Amino acid sequence: MSDKVIYVMYDDDGVLKDGAKKLVSKGVKIADTFSPFPIHGIDPIIGVKNTRLGIMAFLFGLTGLTLATIGMRFFMIEDWPMNIGGKPSFSYLENILSFVPISFEFTVMCAAHGMAITYLLKNKTLPGMPAQNPDPRTTDDKFVMEIRTAENSIEEKELDKLIKDTGFIEIDKKTI
């Protein structure tokens, strides 16, 4: 028996969610869902792990903070000592208040850009990359559930029977 991918299409996110609940309770493993907008509450149902993007954001932010500090120290204190607000102490620590806004802005910029780029890379959705979703209609008003037979111990026929009860509008199978 060859491995197959089953794409089940719905025209309502609520129906897909209820269907997914029903399938999961019968022990079916759902690989992924595709939708034009985030379906609230689908993650715990199909068992999507918590994202680690937050950790990346923290690391990017830390990088930004470090870069900003090193940069400002070099520009304003070492390379060309600046008279900051009439306080010519030529010390980074004693003038640290005036460096806070830039540190903050650069931290935010690095965290935001780093997060966006990481997200696009991880999802393989950088501009110009081939589309990952199985059907262009999932970017419009349709919702697709992806089930892989290789990940399920249930027979394909049995799977078909279970899927039938979920109120889908279209079903598509592909051999991989």
Partner 1 sequence: MEFQITQKAKRNIYLLLGIGLVLTLIGVVTGMDSHHFATRLLTNGLIDTFFFFAMGLGALFFLALAYATETGWYASVKRIIEAVAGYLPYGMGLMGLVLLIITLMDGAHVYQWMDPEVVAHDDIIQGKTAYLNPVFFWIRTLIYFAVYFIFLRGFKKRSLEEDKIGGTELHFMNYKKGALFLVFFAVFSSTSSWDWLMSIDVHWFSTLFGWYTFAGMWCTTMVVLIMVTLYLKKLGYLEKVNDSHIHDLGKWAFATSFLWSYLWFSQFMLIWYANIGEEVSYFQMRIDNYKLLYFGMFIINFAFPMLILMSRDAKRHAGILTFIGLIILGGHWLDVYIMVTAGSLGPAAHIGLLEIGMALTALGIFILVILRNLTKAPLTPVNHPFLDESIHHEI
- Residue 37's SS3 state is coil
Nearest to 9 by CA among 36, 44, 28: 36
Using CA atoms, how far apart are residues 4 and 43, in angstroms rounded to an integer?
23
Question: To the nearest whole angstrom, how small is the minimum distance from the Cβ of residue 50 to partner 1?
Answer: 9
Nearest to 151 by CA among 162, 159, 143: 159
Nearest to 41 by CA among 18, 7, 22: 18
Nearest to 112 by CA among 38, 54, 72: 54
Pick the closer one to partner 1 by CB: 85 or 128: 85
Question: To the nearest whole angstrom, how small is the minimum distance from the Cβ of residue 84 to partner 1?
Answer: 8
Fill in the amino acid letter for 152. Answer: N
Q: Which helix (H) or strand (E) holds 64?
A: helix 53-72
Pick the closer one to partner 1 by CB: 7 or 99: 99
Question: To the nearest whole angstrom, how small is the minimum distance from the Cβ of residue 87 to partner 1?
Answer: 7
- Residue 148's SS3 state is strand
Q: What residues make contact with partner 1 under the rule CB under 8 A?
A: 40-41, 85-87, 97-98, 100-101
Question: To the nearest whole angstrom, how small is the minimum distance from the Cβ of residue 110 to partner 1?
Answer: 18
Question: To the nearest whole angstrom, how small is the minimum distance from the Cβ of residue 54 to partner 1?
Answer: 8
Pick the closer one to partner 1 by CB: 92 or 135: 92
Pick the closer one to partner 1 by CB: 47 or 86: 86
What are the angstrom distances between the C-alpha of 16 and each of 20, 70, 104, 118? 6, 51, 43, 29
Pick the closer one to partner 1 by CB: 58 or 119: 58
